[in-house]
Amino acid sequence: MTHELERRAFLSSCAAVVLGLSGCAPLLSRTRLASLELDDPTPDDYTPVLRALIETILPFDHPRFPEIAPAVMEARFLALFPLEADERFLLLRKGLVIFDRIDLFPELAPQTAEEREHAADERARYERFRAALSRERAERFTALTPPERSGYLRLWGQSAFASKQLFYHTSRRLVLVTAYSEAEFWRAIGYAGPLLPASHRS
């Protein structure tokens, strides 16, 4: 049930991001809009973004973090949330592709009067982020350095736009749900595991 609720929340956030972009489509160049016109992004389009998100959200370099490779966490995520096998995840796949395009961050259209009031501040924060990048013309989340990825993810989490905040929080929760499903992670945080054996859990 928890996984299903998280799944629905993430799908809703991806839908909000996609709709926010489609609302400002006239402002986008044909090249920048091309990825949004894909009816169904392929694993090659969204899997690198998912992998980079997992590496950014989970502290793999922390001494107490269990010795689990990012590739293992990615495989576990896809086992829990089968993006390619379930068409309900189409918006999620598109959301990941949009998130990867950091040049589209300021193009997400404000949906409310309050968001419109913060639109100038939103763009200013983005411009400061872009100015600090080691590669001035970097356009993809997957091309950033680890610290820059963390900074870009924070842009979404600290955004005044509800769709960006929702994408940030739900993607983070899904990755954490994946981590907490691993027994190696239980040992790292001192969790003894479920009280009932697996054969007795529904």
The beta-strand segments (E) located in the chain are none
Is there a domain that residue 201 lies in? Answer: no
Query: Residue 64: is its pLDDT beyond 90?
Result: no
Calculated CA dihedral for residues 176, 183, 77, 16, nearest 10 degrees: -20
**How buried is residue 189: exposed, middle or buried, by Cβ count under 10 Å (0-12/13-18/19+)?**
exposed
pTM exceeds 0.75, yes or no: yes
Mean pLDDT of 103-122: 87
Instruction: Show the CA angle centred on residue 13, arms to residues 5 and 171, nearest 5°.
Output: 70
Has residue 198 been placed in a domain?
no
DSSP reduced 3-state for 93: helix
One DSSP character per residue, 126-176 reads: HHHHHHT-SSTT--BGGGS-HHHHHHHHHHHHT-SSHHHHHHHHHHHHHHH
**60 lies in some domain:** yes
Among 4-8, 133-137, 159-163, 165-169, the minimum mean pLDDT is found in 4-8
Q: Residue 98 falls within a domain, yes or no?
A: yes
- Confidence label for 65 from pLDDT (cuts 50, 70 and 90): confident
- Give the domain range for residue 58: 2-31+42-188
Report if residue 22 sits inside a domain: yes
Mean pLDDT computed over 4-18: 58
Number of domains composing the chain: 1
- How far is Cα 11 from Cα 17, in angstroms, rounded to an integer? 10
